[in-house]
Structure 1
């Protein structure tokens, strides 16, 4: 059949101890070619390792850092029998051979996985990412390989893609057109061109938009991480106020001011991160979509940008405000008791001194 079915995501090889681009390429090539079902492995123009991948998208500075190429291309084919597929793509025969294309980019890498041998329409091409990801993870782990798979979700991108001969209702860049069928699940996005051999050109045409999408995902993850840490802090502080007894009371009096101020500063930092991300993302979107044409993917990027988790931050701020007020009251009570006790001690001392003096 002439239709080309593919999924989109972010799935790249990672090597922790690569010394240079040549070393990185050699280790990745050796690891993938050790898997018998991987064929036609090519690494093209891998020139640097300046892109720093930390966790699931720049999450924590203390996470281990893995450097991957900032530019270049990797392609290979892999055969995965239907019996070994986590989610078989077709009920009948076929859909066992996949071509993986990884485009490294200074913004963020993007991965395309095409189903090469489908004998009928592939209902969910996005699942090619899942099929290849889980198979390669298992095969690499089985061989105790120094190369792992780094994945940034959502992988797959939440849409099913295909290229078809013909013409669609919207422009999609270059000489491609597109039709989007919206769904409660994954949208179906069908690109049209006069030639089914234009898939590589389509990959290049869409690369920048997907690259920025995954960059926006890393920024969203950072916002989510900040909001989650703040929520955890506020819960832990609230729990400390529930503890009873003199020891807990004295501990709160002596240490809680620092914890409250630290959490309040984190709340300010989280808000500033949201402001900075919205400003930077707005600039990026303006550069990506200077006009109304070829903007069919814009809403997917905007949805990711809009996820700021401000409600979680505001809830934590309200909790901290209440706890701060309660802590101030406890400090006042502690000061009153302390001064009262001090007065009693001083009075007793003075009484004893006077008695000694006049005795």
Structure 2
């Protein structure tokens, strides 16, 4: 039996990279079967070639950190990499739109583009598996896209039993992985925002003439402070968040008999975007002295002009 896995994120869904809604349930499961005729596969996924399964079982499992969706494909046809997940996703999106479900508050939220493309294959093992779980990972490498999972057929009688056991052992790892993916998306949003602010600050300093002089004197200072404070807060919060995540990761794998997804989780945790925030903060700090010099020059000129006007007015009054 071939399985594809995909995460469905609720607080941090990616339609335009924004955060949409929270919270999500932390327990429970939604299960349904869906038939998608082969004749519309090409319409849903134009780049797909060949024949694919029509029958899919979808399980949305809600867990402590984030929900995880499993797509189990029919046994009639083997699909290439993760195509089953994509077919189901595109079909549901199309049908919900056709039915006008969003007007009734029903929508499909997903984490994308998918950060994790892998095919999980379950197969019985000819020999007994010494691990009490009855599950063994036969082929898995860091960043591999194909993972073969053997199960002890004398202990787990059917592939359905094996899947249930595998998901029981790994749901916490999947859930925590997609939680970290969501946090990474939030960090990326912050990096994009502060980069845009910094680009605006640089553009302000590139303006020539009196208008640029005035803008720098009265507006760029506030913008530079906003960038610096945002970067400092981000660096502190992200460092604290990473330390907590690594402790949680150690605890998670201390309790698990299958250490399967750790490289992927660590990769998400380590991508912190601190360098982008630091570069923005340094840019703001570098440009601030220029603004202060120009502001002081402008102040001196204004004082001189006001003094001259006052002198001229006094002379007229006296004179």
Q: TM-score, normalised by structure 2?
A: 0.84
Quick check: 1:75–1:102 contact (8 Å CA) kept in 2? Answer: yes
Instruction: Name 2:73's counterpart in structure 1.
Output: 115
Residues 183 and 220 of structure 1: is their aligned pair in 2 closer, same or farther, counting only changes over 3 Å? closer
Instruction: Name 2:4's counterpart in structure 1.
Output: 7
Per-residue CA distance 1:151-208 (angstroms, 9 max, x = gap):
013547321111111179x999832111335498x52011110232311221221100
1:174 match: secondary structure? coil
Kindly state the Cα deviation for residue 328 of structure 1 after the two structures are TM-superposed: 1.5
2:94 match: secondary structure? helix
Instruction: Name 1:267's counterpart in structure 2.
Output: 231
1:257 to 221, 236, 241: 221
Instruction: Name 2:136's counterpart in structure 1.
Output: 177
2:2 match: secondary structure? strand
2:4 match: secondary structure? strand
Alpha-carbon distance in structure 1 between the residues aligned to 2:282 and 2:115 = 37
Instruction: Name 2:156's counterpart in structure 1.
Output: none
Residue 213, structure 1, aligned to residue 177, structure 2: yes
2:111 to 152, 160, 176: 152
1:294 match: secondary structure? coil
2:254 match: secondary structure? coil
1:320 match: secondary structure? helix
Alpha-carbon distance in structure 2 between the residues aligned to 1:339 and 1:181 = 73
1:225 to 151, 175, 189: 189
When you count helix as a share of all residues, which structure comes out higher? 2
2:90 to 134, 148, 151: 134
Residue 284, structure 1, aligned to residue 248, structure 2: yes
Residues 188 and 64 of structure 1: is their aligned pair in 2 closer, same or farther, counting only changes over 3 Å? closer
Instruction: Name 2:288's counterpart in structure 1.
Output: 324
Instruction: Name 1:46's counterpart in structure 2.
Output: none
Quick check: 1:223–1:308 contact (8 Å CA) kept in 2? Answer: yes
Kindly state the Cα deviation for residue 130 of structure 1 after the two structures are TM-superposed: 0.7
Alpha-carbon distance in structure 2 between the residues aligned to 1:171 and 1:130 = 36
Quick check: 1:10–1:109 contact (8 Å CA) kept in 2? Answer: yes
Residues 215 and 203 of structure 1: is their aligned pair in 2 closer, same or farther, counting only changes over 3 Å? same
Residues 236 and 167 of structure 1: is their aligned pair in 2 closer, same or farther, counting only changes over 3 Å? farther
Aligned residues: 305
Instruction: Name 2:61's counterpart in structure 1.
Output: 103
Quick check: 1:7–1:157 contact (8 Å CA) kept in 2? Answer: no
Instruction: Name 2:26's counterpart in structure 1.
Output: 70
Structure 2 residue ranges without an equivalent (≥5)? 154-158
When you count strand as a share of all residues, which structure comes out higher? 1
2:227 match: secondary structure? helix
Alpha-carbon distance in structure 2 between the residues aligned to 1:122 and 1:142 = 27
Residues 310 and 64 of structure 1: is their aligned pair in 2 closer, same or farther, counting only changes over 3 Å? closer
2:107 match: secondary structure? strand
1:106 match: secondary structure? coil
Residues 70 and 173 of structure 1: is their aligned pair in 2 closer, same or farther, counting only changes over 3 Å? farther
1:153 match: secondary structure? coil
Instruction: Name 2:145's counterpart in structure 1.
Output: 187
Alpha-carbon distance in structure 2 between the residues aligned to 1:172 and 1:253 = 70
